[in-house]
Amino acid sequence: MATDVLMPQMGESIAEGTIVKWLKKIGDTVQRDEPLLEISTDKVDAEIPAPDAGVLAEILAKEGETVSVNSVIARLGASGEAAPPAKAEAAAQGAAPVKHGDARVQPVEPLPSIPQTEQAAPQPPHAAPSPRAAAVQAAPSAKTEVDGKQGRSSPLVRNIAREHGVNIDEVMGTGVGGRVTKDDILHFIENRKAAPAAPSVPAAPVAPAPSVAPVAPAPAPAPALPVQAYSVGERTTIEPMSVMRRRIAEHMVLSRRTSAHVTTFFEIDFTNIARLREQEKKGFEERNGTKLTFMPFIIKAVIDGLRVFPVINASLEGENIVYHHDLNIGMAVALDWGLIVPVIKHADALSIIGLARATQDLAGRARNKQLKPDEVSGGTFSITNFGLFGGYTAAPIINQPQVAILGVGGIHKRAWVVETGDGDAIAIRHIGVLSLSFDHRLVDGATADNFMAHVKKSLETTDFSTLI
Amino acid sequence: MFFRLFRCNNPMRACLYDYLGLTNYADAHALQEQIHERRKNDDLPDMLLLLEHRHVITLGRAANRANVLVDDTRRKELGVEFFETGRGGDVTYHGPGQLVGYPIIKLAPERCDVRRYVRDLEEVLIRTAGDFGIEAGRIDGLTGVWAADKKLVAIGVRISRWVSMHGFAFNVNTHLEYFNLIVPCGISNRSVTSLEKLLCAPLEMESVVSSVTRHFGEVFQRQMIITTAIKNHEKILSLPHDPDFRGTGTRDHHRPDHSSSF
């Protein structure tokens, strides 16, 4: 009887882990609690012990792969169990073994026709345990097969399916036993948008009778993106993405797919604050041991705005709007090797001094890899400051599962029209653009703009001198 | 007497203070009463006692027993004591990590205003919270000091012949889960918080004590002087006094006095 080995949850907020190294090979006998593999998560690395004694029968996630917490990464069989169906499939196809689990799908071999399930039945002719046969043994009835596929998809895949209104059964799975992997469903969604454009793309919905056979794993869906027209050689360098890089890539793409992104831009006159900073920054740093930047003022104004427009501090869960009573503000920090968003918890309880200390502390520890897992989770709103690189503005990507993110552009001196008692005049003012990307599923333009107008007014008219 | 010396040399009134560490509620209560009595007679100068209590639930004069949510058996199992006191206010919890302050000062002649005294205590703690980066404030109609709608400091005082007693309880590193045993101050729809919870890191009690005493001196216009005499309180209490004195007891004496609720 097989025992599943799951990716464990190493911390409340940690949703996935990366396989670093398998300590045992397929076919090895392991004792219960013997170290089986090494994993790495955002902050914590660990050795995972075997949950039971047995033989390592299947490895579903290879070294370097990242999988969701609780997904199956390996299977242990009782000693002497037969080789898994995967081997049989490989033998049947006569091609390189299909990678298992949430593998990056490799196009195995170009097949001339769409392998509809019914057509797959007669193929492949002589494999002893054909994939169909094997799967049929495992799942003899249509209903079981359907349930089986659903049941064997990871929670991440099921989430994606649910959010996009996709019936997993319609998606061709390339994982073992017809499991739908993350790549499978993402390609499916891409191609669904691309409509019937590419009939040669087998990732198009499998014929409406996913009844009998498992979808053949071998004809992997062609990647939705065109394959690069270069060949690996002297003029290219190949570098696998780091764990953080892959996470960022996945997060960004998933965010764009999830939220209906709209960005609104407001120009803010920071002159009063800039002058206050000039006067006070030296004394402030001496008294409080912390630099005084524009950020604490911006955060304060944002918090005031969130109190008046709480929907911008909310999130969407299924059909429910979840209003968060805490105001936990994430501050994006650029790192040499990537990007991370530590969170200032209870930001509404902090004074300007407290916010200055918190931002400096979190940024410093982010750069030194000293953040704790719960310091990078639980955010309800995020701020990203790209102004320090000199840019004018940008449209940031929302940090899921939040519904808005504020981008802070460069604050520069500009010639500006000011209204005085004697009429309009041109003056030199410190102007910066704040851009709010928001999720139009929940937040309408009017709300977003009213929120930004509130923030603008707060920044331009509050007397901050009493608060330093 | 040593305090008279200060009076002559310095126009600002002196206030002695010390941090006594973890102290039994009963002992602290008895000490307060004795100091309070002597302060009324001007046998002692103003004093500020700063300390922490072991886990204890206390009831003020306005207390509603229903606001204690745990029965005696369970309470004892958890190692939490219980006291009824003569201070104003409803029910509250004290425990390690919470800085308790008992100013025993004479409000006469220029501060004979109970509401003003409570507001001044709130001001001391608002400024102290500010030193640690917390923006704390008052909520109209509710005594105490609040941060982000959660209660950071509880206040319950008793003023007798314009000398104060009891005082404030400041959640620094308090074990907030003990507040689940009561309805704090009878206010059920707001939660409590602490400096540690808001700053996501524990604080050094010494630095909080130092901040509190400095702001106390500023707000109450007192010169704050640290003294070990409070710790060695036998010395204080060995000053001339009435040997037949029985102490003010708890809730039943009939002297005219003022209590302010939380």
> Residue A77: helix, strand or coil by DSSP?
strand
Q: Tokens 């010390």 belong to which residue?
A: B18
Distance from CA of A347 to the nearest CA of B (A): 8
First to last CA, chain A: 67
The 10 Å Cβ neighbour count of residue B8 is 7
Cα A412 to its chain centre, rounded Å, is 33
Of all residues in chain A, the percent with pLDDT exceeding 90 is 43
* Average of per-residue pLDDT across A445-456: 98
Distance from CA of B129 to the nearest CA of A (A): 9
Q: CA A56, CA A39: separation in Å to the nearest integer?
A: 17
Identity of the residue in B130, B193, B200 whose CB atom sits nearest the CB atom of A351? B130
List the Cα angle A350/A352/A356 in 5-degree steps: 95
Q: CA A211, CA A239: separation in Å to the nearest integer?
A: 42
- For A327, which residue in chain B has the nearest alpha carbon? B148
User: Tens digit of pLDDT for each residue in A389-416?
Assistant: 999 999 999 999 999 999 999 999 999 9
Q: CA A156, CA B224: separation in Å to the nearest integer?
A: 61
Q: Which segments within B37-128 are labelled E, that is strand?
A: 46-53, 56-59, 81-84, 91-94, 98-104
- For B200, which residue in chain A has the nearest alpha carbon? A345
The reported pLDDT for the residue numbered A10 is 67
Identity of the residue in B133, B150, B200 whose CB atom sits nearest the CB atom of A351? B133
The reported pLDDT for the residue numbered A293 is 95
* Average of per-residue pLDDT across B184-196: 81
* Average of per-residue pLDDT across A303-311: 98
Please, what is the average pLDDT of chain B? 85
Q: CA B54, CA B94: separation in Å to the nearest integer?
A: 7
pTM of the model: 0.66
Instruction: Please state the ipTM of this predicted complex.
Output: 0.80
Say which residue, A116 or B175, is predicted with more confidence: B175
Say which residue, A97 or B169, is predicted with more confidence: B169
- CB < 8 Å & 24+ apart, contacts of B4-13: B6/B45, B6/B223, B6/B225, B10/B223, B12/B221, B12/B222, B12/B223, B13/B45, B13/B46, B13/B221, B13/B222, B13/B223
A299 in reach of chain B (CB within 8 A): no
Residue among A440, A449, A454, A463 flagged as catalytic: A440
CA torsion sign, B153 to B159 to B163 to B166? negative
The reported pLDDT for the residue numbered A113 is 41
- For B198, which residue in chain A has the nearest alpha carbon? A346
Identity of the residue in A345, A349, A467 whose CB atom sits nearest the CB atom of B134? A349
The reported pLDDT for the residue numbered A125 is 41
User: Tens digit of pLDDT for each residue in A122-150?
Assistant: 444 443 444 443 333 333 443 444 444 55
The reported pLDDT for the residue numbered A313 is 98
Interhelix angle A445-461/A295-308, rounded to 10 degrees, is 130
Task: Indicate the pLDDT class of residue A312, thresholds 50, 70 and 90.
Answer: very high
Say which residue, A118 or A149, is predicted with more confidence: A149
Instruction: Pick from A74-88, A423-437, B189-203 the range whose average pLDDT is largest.
Output: A423-437
Say which residue, A104 or A59, is predicted with more confidence: A59
Residues 321-340 of A with CB under 8 A from B: 327
B-interface mutation test, from A350, A355, A359, most B Cβ less than 10 A away:
A350
The reported pLDDT for the residue numbered B120 is 97
The reported pLDDT for the residue numbered A150 is 53
Task: Indicate the pLDDT class of residue B189, thresholds 50, 70 and 90.
Answer: low
The reported pLDDT for the residue numbered A424 is 95
Say which residue, A14 or A206, is predicted with more confidence: A14
A-interface mutation test, from B200, B203, B207, B211, most A Cβ less than 10 A away:
B200
Residues of chain B contacting A, Cβ within 8 Å? 130, 132-136, 147-148, 150, 193, 197-200
| Catalytic (active site) residue A444 | yes
Query: Residues near B244 by Cβ (< 8 Å), separated by ≥ 6?
Result: none
Task: Indicate the pLDDT class of residue A460, thresholds 50, 70 and 90.
Answer: very high
Q: Check A357 against B134: CB less than 8 A apart.
A: no
Among the listed residues A83, A72, A15, A9, the one whose alpha carbon sits nearest the alpha carbon of residue A46: A9
* Average of per-residue pLDDT across A45-57: 83
Distance from CA of A191 to the nearest CA of B (A): 46
DSSP 8-class letter at A94: T
Determine which of A398-402, B19-23, B256-260 has the lowest per-residue pLDDT on average: B256-260
- Chain B residue numbers with beta carbons less than 8 Å from the beta carbon of A327 are 148
CATH number of A1-81: 2.40.50.100
Determine which of A110-114, A316-320, A344-348, B17-21 has the lowest per-residue pLDDT on average: A110-114
* Average of per-residue pLDDT across B127-156: 94
**CB contact at 8 A, B230 and B47:** yes
The reported pLDDT for the residue numbered A157 is 77
Q: CA A175, CA A218: separation in Å to the nearest integer?
A: 9
CATH number of A259-467: 3.30.559.10
Say which residue, B189 or A292, is predicted with more confidence: A292
User: Tens digit of pLDDT for each residue in A250-283?
Assistant: 999 999 999 999 999 999 999 999 999 999 999 9
* Average of per-residue pLDDT across B29-52: 93
Query: Residues near A208 by Cβ (< 8 Å), separated by ≥ 6?
Result: A170
Identity of the residue in A346, A356, A375 whose CB atom sits nearest the CB atom of B198? A346
| Catalytic (active site) residue A261 | no
Q: CA B100, CA B172: separation in Å to the nearest integer?
A: 10
Q: CA A213, CA B108: separation in Å to the nearest integer?
A: 93
- Chain A residue numbers with beta carbons less than 8 Å from the beta carbon of B200 are 345, 375
Determine which of A73-87, A304-318, A329-343, B127-141 has the lowest per-residue pLDDT on average: A73-87
Distance from CA of B213 to the nearest CA of A (A): 18
Architecture (CATH level 2) of domain B2-237: 2-Layer Sandwich (3.30)
Question: At residue B129, does pLDDT exceed 90?
Answer: yes
Task: Indicate the pLDDT class of residue A11, thresholds 50, 70 and 90.
Answer: low
The reported pLDDT for the residue numbered B237 is 52
Determine which of B97-101, B106-110, B123-127 has the lowest per-residue pLDDT on average: B106-110
Q: CA B99, CA B170: separation in Å to the nearest integer?
A: 5
Query: Residues near A130 by Cβ (< 8 Å), separated by ≥ 6?
Result: A88, A92, A124
Q: CA A88, CA A93: separation in Å to the nearest integer?
A: 9
The reported pLDDT for the residue numbered B227 is 87
Cα B199 to its chain centre, rounded Å, is 23
Task: Indicate the pLDDT class of residue A369, thresholds 50, 70 and 90.
Answer: confident
Residue among B8, B15, B112, B185 flagged as catalytic: B185
Distance from CA of B160 to the nearest CA of A (A): 36
In which residue ranges of chain A is CATH 3.30.559.10 found?
Answer: 259-467
Question: At residue B233, does pLDDT exceed 70?
Answer: no
**CB contact at 8 A, A295 and A385:** yes
Task: Indicate the pLDDT class of residue A190, thresholds 50, 70 and 90.
Answer: confident
The reported pLDDT for the residue numbered B117 is 97
Task: Indicate the pLDDT class of residue B28, thresholds 50, 70 and 90.
Answer: very high
Task: Indicate the pLDDT class of residue A87, thresholds 50, 70 and 90.
Answer: very low
Residue among A444, A449, A454, A463 flagged as catalytic: A444
Among the listed residues A34, A19, A33, A32, the one whose alpha carbon sits nearest the alpha carbon of residue A74: A19
User: Tens digit of pLDDT for each residue in B59-79?
Assistant: 988 888 888 888 899 999 999
Say which residue, A207 or B34, is predicted with more confidence: B34
Determine which of A152-161, A288-297, B200-209 has the lowest per-residue pLDDT on average: A152-161
In which residue ranges of chain A is CATH 2.40.50.100 found?
Answer: 1-81
Q: CA A398, CA B12: separation in Å to the nearest integer?
A: 58
Identity of the residue in A345, A356, A467 whose CB atom sits nearest the CB atom of B200? A345
Q: Check B197 against A354: CB less than 8 A apart.
A: no
- For B133, which residue in chain A has the nearest alpha carbon? A354
Question: At residue A239, does pLDDT exceed 70?
Answer: yes
Give me the residues paired with residue A66 across strands. A18
A99 in reach of chain B (CB within 8 A): no
Identity of the residue in B134, B150, B193 whose CB atom sits nearest the CB atom of A354? B134
Q: Check A350 against B197: CB less than 8 A apart.
A: no
Determine which of A149-158, B60-69, B156-165, B190-199 has the lowest per-residue pLDDT on average: A149-158
Residues 128-187 of A with CB under 8 A from B: none
The reported pLDDT for the residue numbered B171 is 97
- Tell me the DSSP string of A398-426: P-TTBSEEEEEEEEEEEEEEEEETTEEEE
A349 in reach of chain B (CB within 8 A): yes
* Average of per-residue pLDDT across B79-92: 87
Q: Check B198 against A348: CB less than 8 A apart.
A: no
* Average of per-residue pLDDT across A10-29: 82
> Residue B171: helix, strand or coil by DSSP?
strand
Q: Check B148 against A354: CB less than 8 A apart.
A: no
